[in-house]
Amino acid sequence: MEIRSPAFKENARAALDDPQLRHALEHVKSGFIVKRAMAAEALPEFEKLRDSSKAIKDETLANLDKYLEAYETKVTESGGHVHWAESAADARDIILKICQSVGARTVTKGKSMISEEIELNDFLEGNGVQPVETDLGEYIIQLRGEHPSHIIAPAVHLARSQVEADFRRVHTHLPVDRDLTEPVTLLSEARKVLRAKYFQADVGITGANFLVAETGTSVIVTNEGNGDLTQILPKVHIVLASIEKIVPTLSDLSQVLRVLARSATGQDMSVYTTLSTGPRRAGDPDGPEQYHVVLLDNGRSSMIGTEFQEMLRCIRCGACMNHCPVYHAVGGHTYGWVYPGPMGSVLTPSLIGVDKAGHLPNASTFCGRCEAVCPVRIPLPKMMRHWREREFSRRLNPATQRYGLKAWAFFARRPRLYRLATSIGIPVLSLFGGRGRFKSLPLAGGWTRHRDMPAPEGRTFMQEWKQREAQKQGARI
Amino acid sequence: MSGREAILNRLRVALREGKDDATREQAVQARIAAAPRGVVPMRGRLPDDDRVTLFCAMAQKVSATVERVGSSANVPGAVAAYLRQRNLPARVRMGADARLGAMPWNTEPSLEIDSGRAQDEDLAGVSHAIAGIAETGTVVLHSGQDNPTTVNFLPEHHLVVVRAKDIVGDLETVFDQVRQTFGKGHMPRTLNFITGPSRSADIEQTLLLGAHGPRALHVIVVDGD
Ligand code: SF4
């Protein structure tokens, strides 16, 4: 998809001024957080399972070449084909060739963020193959010509009324006076429309949550069942997955499955966890005749061995964005590319370059909630800091920031001056702000445009600290 | 250089630092062969009866309906009654599964049985699970000559028969059985883990049952046999 990350600030401003979006984002704040907490609480071994999942992904990444080869051997043994794609363009070409080889006109698709990453839909359409998204959220997004705003809830930024309007606009074969006021009627309508598509499709493309080296198996985890209909009805099943999706064995799969659904939606297990190995077997009454796996690198192998390797542990549960105050405020589209929230802030610069995505690692309050909930314990704040350091050393951040930091550093290295400056600054600020809050502040318009800035109350941290220490000393004597 | 070689080479160079290739290869093969178990929750480790009870409770928690019958001979009656209660036509889609085939379907003469893969208009499908998982209320089914996967997804109502003695505590136990049945490193084409009827929360995060898969999942637990 078109990269809009460089415009992060403008995007954020627009998002903050959008009342409908603000309303929709409330759903993220309330729903996901509570559900995850309850699911984690209900399983005494949850924290241990997080450690175990982290260790499994670390082991896989430390020997990723070997596990990929082992996986490939197994896929081939079961009659499937593995295709290696270094870049997005390679992956698109491979997929188009497979589609063309069976004369495909319609392709159904299960939800896949990788497909967004390689901009598959536009490409297929441009080459005469009609892609149809079948996940309800993705379908809605496709009708609107938009992109997902969340990795597991792609349409979370939309209101029911918007979906109704889109269905009326597109499903013109249905009676105009039908009632679509309830979400359930919208769901039924999508179910009916998409049913026909599954049967028309020549090729079904799904992503993969995991690939198992022990057996050459691809695993998808869904709630709707669309991914399954996508892969069992057409003649050809293509799995589109990035190289880090590997886990060594089915035992390891058990571990990561236990943390995935709980972290994502607070379910103990998603409704459908489906393991697919090769094409249909002799005598099978259904299932695809061809089974292809497209393994996408697209920059990931270059992260191995760097300080960003740990990011490749990510199992795309979405918990970090669900718990992120910045995501809550600006929503997913603001991040300007496929992956939003804290995981996007770390991954996006790796995949598209820090020159384009430099704002993202700065979009953090460093509150640490993302790391606290990440099922594979990715140190997201630390990694955002890595990016900031790189950005600074490459002089990519704006002059005001650089001078600001330099000025701060000048004072920070001279404690007396620092104390003097702050002890003058604070009373001045509190004089203007009184005991309340600032509605506007010079040089801080970005802050005060959408929220107040609390006015400092009286004294500096150092002054408070000194006094407390003195009191403690006094108490001890 | 092909994409494959380029990707693998980059990884190799980056990973070689610690250990040499041969040592890593050996370690990886050994790990895959041993497939060590990780953390297995205590939740499912229960005496037989309690495990079945937990399975039923967990399945109900995710909006499946559950009924227990004393013997596989009662299954046809249970299927017919399910359809009657919901005013559905007395007709089901069913694979040629031997366990289902051995049941006395002639006791329900009005029940029509369509065999083979499911069709779009099927209202009810019956499958036999290879296992139930108590920790999550999940049923496990695999594809094969006599077990069309489409039966699990196309009909509006999916009825799944599972023997109480096949209900295990956890995922790991199921995978051990699959390894035993199909041979280590081998799998059926499709292995489905199904936990409740299909659902979506994509519109305003409102949870709705019946997305693209079945609107209802009915689990029939066979206690006897
Ligand atoms: S970074 Fe962690 S919390 Fe965020 S999506 Fe990935 S696995 Fe989930």
Supply the pLDDT for residue A6. 86
B169 shares a domain with B76: yes
Asked whether residue B17 is assigned to any structural domain, the reply reads: yes
pLDDT of the residue at A418: 74
Task: Mark whether A212 and A289 lie in a shared domain.
Answer: yes
C-alpha distance from residue A347 to each of A28, A123, A310, A327 (Å): 21, 24, 10, 15
Residues with Cβ within 8 Å of residue A97, at least 6 apart in sequence: none
Over the stretch A154-163, which tens digit does the pLDDT of each residue have?
888 998 999 9
The pLDDT, as a whole number, for residue A430 is 65
Mark which of A298, A322, A348 sits at the end of a domain: A298
CA–CA dist A174, B70 (Å, integer): 48
pLDDT digits (tens, 9 = 90+) for B4-62: 999 999 999 999 876 788 899 999 999 999 999 999 999 999 999 999 999 999 999 99
Q: What is the DSSP string of B38-100?
A: ----GGG---HHHHHHHHHHHHHHTT-EEEEESSGGGHHHHHHHHHHHTT--SEEEE---HHH
Indicate if ligand 1 lies below 6 Å from the C-beta of A259: no
Q: What is the CA radius of gyration of chain A?
A: 25
Q: Distance between terminal CA atoms of chain B?
A: 60
CA R_g for chain B: 21
Question: Is A313 in the same domain as A386?
Answer: yes
Residue B141 belongs to a domain with what CATH number? 3.40.50.10420
Instruction: Show which of A397, A425, A459 is a domain's final residue.
Output: A397
Say if residue A28 is in the same domain as residue A70: no
Please give the torsion angle defined by the CA atoms of residues A11, A16, A18 and A24, in that order, rounded to the nearest 10 degrees.
Answer: 100
pLDDT of residue A151: 87
Asked if residue B170 belongs to a domain, the reply is yes
In short, whether A433's Cβ falls inside 6 Å of ligand 1 is no
B18 with B113, same domain: the answer is no
Confidence category of residue B111, pLDDT binned at 50, 70, 90:
very high
B177, part of any domain: yes
CA distance B204 to A70: 42
Residues B165 and B68 in one domain: yes
Please report the residues numbered 106 through 165 in chain B whose beta carbons come closer than 8 angstroms to any beta carbon of chain A.
116-118, 120, 135-138, 143-145, 148-150, 152-154
Q: Could you say which of A266, A298, A330 is where a domain stops?
A: A298
Dist. CA A317–CA A393, nearest whole Å = 32
- Please give the residue range of the domain that contains residue B79: 48-222
* Contact flag A66-B28 (C-beta cutoff 8 Å): yes
**Torsion of Cα atoms, A3 then A9 then A11 then A13, to 10°:** 180
Q: A295 to chain B: which residues are within 8 Å by CB?
A: 7
Average pLDDT on B121-145 reads 97
Domain region containing A428:
414-476
Overall number of domains in chain B: 2
Q: How far is the CA of B134 from the centre of ligand 1 (A)?
A: 27
DSSP states of A60-77 as a string?
HHHTHHHHHHHHHHHHHH
CB contact set of A360 (below 8 Å; sequence gap of 6+): A5, A8, A335, A344, A345, A348, A349, A387
Parallel/antiparallel/unpaired status of strands A210-212 and A106-109: unpaired
The predicted structure's pLDDT at residue B109: 95
Higher-scoring residue by pLDDT: A419, B142: B142
Residue B50: alpha-carbon gap to chain centroid? 21
CB-based contacts of A151, cutoff 8 Å, min separation 6: A113, A316, A318, A321, A339, A340, A341, A343
Residues 6-45 of B with CB under 8 A from A: 6-8, 10-12, 14-15, 17-18, 24-25, 27-29, 31-32, 35-43
Q: How many domains does chain A divide into?
A: 3
Query: Residue A477 has what pLDDT?
Result: 55
Q: Give pLDDT tens digits for A206-216.
A: 999 999 999 99
Has residue B71 been placed in a domain? Answer: yes
Query: Is some CB atom of chain B closer than 8 A to the CB atom of A34?
Result: no
**For residue B102, which amino acid is it?**
A
Does ligand 1 lie within 6 Å of residue A347's CB atom?
no
Are B181 and B191 in contact by the 8 Å Cβ rule? The answer is no
Q: Which of A61, A255, A258, A343 has the most ligand 1 atoms within 8 A of CB, as the residue to mutate?
A: A343
Q: Determine what percent of chain B is predicted with pLDDT higher than 70.
A: 99
Residue A60 token pair: 């896989």
CB nearest to B28's CB, from A67, A156, A280: A67
Q: Which residues of chain A have pLDDT under 70?
A: 395-402, 404-405, 425-458, 475-477
Which string of DSSP letters, residue by residue, matches A335-359?
Answer: G-SS--HHHHHHHHHHHH-HHHHTT
Nearest CA to ligand 1 atom 3: A374
A247 within a domain of the structure (yes/no):
yes
How far is the C-alpha of A158 from the C-alpha of A153, rounded, in Å?
Answer: 10
Residue B118 domain-assigned (yes or no): yes
Spatial distance between the Cα atoms of A318 and B184, rounded to a whole number of angstroms = 33
pLDDT of B221 strictly over 90: yes
**Residue A210 and residue A97 share a domain:** yes
DSSP β-ladder status, A272-276 and A217-222: antiparallel
Same domain, A111 and A229: yes
Closest in A250, A270, A276 to B175, CB measured = A250
Question: Which residue in the set A59, A65, A224 is minimally distant from B8, CB to CB?
Answer: A65
Q: Which residue of A has its CA nearest to B170?
A: A254
ipTM of the complex as predicted? 0.97
What pLDDT does A358 receive? 82
CATH assignment of the domain containing A145? 3.40.50.10420
pLDDT of residue A347: 92
Q: How far is the CA of A136 from the centre of ligand 1 (A)?
A: 22
